[in-house]
Amino acid sequence: MTTTPAPDLLVVGARARLAPGRYAAAIAVTGDRITAVGDDADVLALRGSRTRVVQARGATVLPGFQDAHVHAPFAGRNLLRVWLNDLPGRPAYLDAVARFAANHPNEPWVVGGGWAMEDFPNGLARKEDLDAIVPDRPVFLFNRDVHSAWVNSAALLAGGITRDTVDPSDGRIERDPQTGEPTGMLHEGAAYTFNDRVVPPPSRLEWEEAILTAQEHLHALGITGWQDAWVTPSTLAAYRSLAADGRLTARVVGALWWDRHRGLDQIADLCSQREAATGNHADSGVPGFHPTSVKIMVDGVLETYTGALLEPYCDGCGGHTDNRGLLYVDPELLAEAVTALDAAGFQVHQHAIGDRAARTALDAIAAARTANGRNDRRHHIAHLQVLQRSDIPRFSALGVTANAQAYWAKNDPQMEVLTTPFLGPDRTALQYPFASLAAAGTRLAMGSDWAVTTADPLAQIEVATTRSDPADRELAAFLPHERLTLDAALDAFTAGSAWVNHDDDGGAIRVGARADLAVLDADLFGTDLRIGTRAPIGGGPPHSLQGVSDASVVMTVAAGRVVYEA
């Protein structure tokens, strides 16, 4: 005679979201599986002597969030070094750099990042600021979007960069217009090459510590899985080590980095990296590390005029330049690469900011479909800041997922000062067309691009549904006709991201699914969030819930294991 084991965990008194408009009060978890979903009485009847019971007190329970585009190792490393993301501007940046340098006198380099371009005149940081506080050793600080770096004179000297240094083909050394001297900013390929060539690389143990630091932060936000959008051989080794000894409690898909300075010959190397980490091509639903994707940077970003546009940038004063940005991979080579990667069993994860980049990325997937036919690779394109209306139907037609960074779709200083004047009104109106993509039948996933911006899914979902800044809800909504419904945004950050991660076992609350849960402290569905009616908070009195981001995660369960508790 066999007996069914009692659940390890019960979550009761909840509003657990099963699907749009469908909820349950209670969930049972046994091992790493959801074993019952129903009302409180039926689920409580399963309780055993060792079952833990968590009372949600009317709050929402969601599937564990999955972040479809994040840079966990690099964010974790900055958290351990110089973290500028949450600071209010230039003086605070300099204080943080000076403090780190003073507290770490034996560190040969000061490294980190997270500064915002809008905090500097014309978006340009200068070496003199850093020279004044750290004159004795090199400083290298990526900006928040990781497309430019701020360096001091010692770093320029270490890298051999002078007024005579030629710009790389895929980047730019910022120079004084009068003297031609480097001013302390490196853009795109100039920054990446410098980082790879000059800045001392972390050890495998340092990368492991960085990933664990990032994992702790992401779990505290209800995130149980992610796709790392920039996996290098060094971070690959760290992920493998953490997965092997069980310290990686999230399920992570790794997007191996496509070297835009090489050609199709690198595909053999990428296959070797995949095989060494997984042993096969399987995209299983189990936790751990799955390097089954390849990340290709198609263009840069609009703020440095490297995002690839179909028509030239405006000059900010009513005229036009002759600059259409940069395509980092020749369109013909990109089509060949995507076709070959598709044939080799890889998912392709493309970065496309400008409308020319988005069209080029879609063309490459169309070429793969023509050559290889339909398959289940689940290719996706991230960012999609400017997208021509004629390209929107192609996503559904080609089976391409739109990987949305929702937090960017709002009015803020970067948008107002560094973006819209250089796009002009017509292209400004084409930005982040989430609702249009959804209406055209496109599958949506969501990712934070952390540490570029916040990793908090609730803040990102609020922007997706309001097109307003949670920090200043009085600002006018940005292109409000492109708002998503709350259900659509939640689906994108759970089931949609699970889809691109080939995780058919996650992204939903149902019997038999892997037990990934995010327990909140408030009910997202029992109140009108826009007018701030009151909602219950687990373990405390009612509080005003004016937006989704006013709620917080109080417990995260990953594969049946409680990995975070407030």
pLDDT digit string, tens, across residues 188-197: 999 989 999 9
Q: Is residue 543 predicted with pLDDT exceeding 70?
A: no
Residue range 159-168, pLDDT digits in tens: 999 999 999 9
Instruction: Using alpha carbons, list the distances in angstroms from residue 336 to 246, 331, 364, 464, 516.
Output: 38, 9, 7, 34, 38
Instruction: Please state whether the peptide bond connecting residue 237 to the residue before it is cis, i.e. omega within 30 degrees of 0.
Output: no
Backbone angles phi, psi at 267, to 5 degrees: -60, -35
Closest C-alpha to 517, from 6, 7, 126, 5: 7
Q: Classify strands 15-19 and 22-24 as parallel, antiparallel or unpaired.
A: antiparallel
Q: Which two tokens stand for residue 65?
A: 């969030």
| pLDDT tens digit sequence for 363-422 | 999 999 999 999 999 999 999 999 999 999 999 999 999 999 999 999 998 899 999 999
Residue range 165-193: mean pLDDT, rounded: 94
Instruction: Enumerate domains of the chain plus CATH numbers.
Output: 9-64+509-565 (2.30.40.10), 109-197 (3.10.310.70), 207-500 (3.20.20.140)
DSSP 303-318: GGT-S--SSPPB-SSS
Q: Is the pLDDT of residue 429 over 50?
A: yes
State the pLDDT at residue 530: 41
pLDDT for 4:
80
Average pLDDT over residues 182-207: 94
Q: What is the dihedral of CA 401, 407, 413, 416, to 10 degrees?
A: 40
In 3D space, the residue among 243, 293, 285, 262 whose CA is nearest the CA of residue 70 turns out to be: 293
What DSSP assignment string belongs to 165-196? PPPPTTEEEEE-TTT--EEEEEEEHHHHHHHH
pLDDT digits over 137-158, tens only? 999 999 988 889 999 999 999 9
pLDDT at 147: 87
Report the percentage of the chain scoring pLDDT > 70: 95
Q: What is the spatial distance between Cα 475 and Cα 308, in angstroms, rounded to a whole number?
A: 29
Q: Band of the pLDDT at 3, cuts 50, 70, 90?
A: low
pLDDT band for position 286 (50/70/90)?
confident
Q: What is the pLDDT of residue 544?
A: 55
Tell me the C-alpha distance between 427 and 385, whole Å: 10
Question: How many angstroms separate the Cα of 290 from the Cα of each of 148, 239, 355?
Answer: 29, 9, 31
Calculate mean pLDDT across residues 283-295. 85
Query: Is pLDDT at 314 greater than 70 in this prediction?
Result: yes
Q: Where are the alpha helices (DSSP H) in 373-495?
A: 392-398, 413, 420-423, 425-428, 434-439, 457-466, 486-491
Is residue 527 over pLDDT 80? no
Q: How high is the pLDDT of residue 545?
A: 65
Which pLDDT score is estimated for 526?
74
The conformation of residue 282, written as its DSSP 8-state character, comes to: -
For 188, how many CA atoms within 13 A lie in the half-sphere containing its CB?
22
Please report the pLDDT score of residue 284 as a whole number. Answer: 60
**Which tens digits make up the pLDDT trace of 25-62?**
999 999 999 999 999 999 999 999 999 999 999 999 99
